[in-house]
Amino acid sequence: MFRYRCADLLYLVVEDGIFAQAEIPAGWGLLIRSGEGLVVARPPVALDAAPAQRARLLESIALAGTRAVNRAAGIVLPAPDWTSSQTP
């Protein structure tokens, strides 16, 4: 998620005492459960994903989902011809 800038802030939520600091991914914030609440043990790095970047990610997810549904329904579409000079 950090690599693809899926969100502006990323947090890992854990129980106290079940992790080592080295296990927390770089750039992620750390929230530790304390009773019914959460305590910020480490703030995250702000990612500031650009709107165009978010749109590309959403389009990729939609295409992957469409392909999976088509496969499950037995719909087979021809592969695009990338050697053609025509653009889709």
Overall number of domains in the chain: 1
- Average confidence score pLDDT of the chain: 83
Per-state percent for the chain, helix, strand, coil, to nearest 5: 30, 20, 50
- Tell me the pLDDT band of 46, cut-offs 50, 70 and 90: confident
Dump pLDDT digits (tens) for 9-32.
889 999 988 888 888 888 899 999
Query: Would residue 30 count as lying in a domain?
Result: yes
Sign of CA dihedral 53, 55, 60, 61: positive
Query: Would residue 47 count as lying in a domain?
Result: yes
Q: Note whether 21 and 2 are within 8 A (CB).
A: no
Quote the domain boundaries for residue 47.
Answer: 11-72
Q: What are phi and psi of 36, to 5 degrees?
A: -95, 0
Looking at the DSSP assignment, which residues form a beta bridge with residue 32? 14, 39
Structure pTM? 0.54
**List of residues 6+ apart from 44 with CB closer than 8 A:** 9, 10, 11, 27, 28, 29
| Whether pLDDT at 40 is above 90 | yes
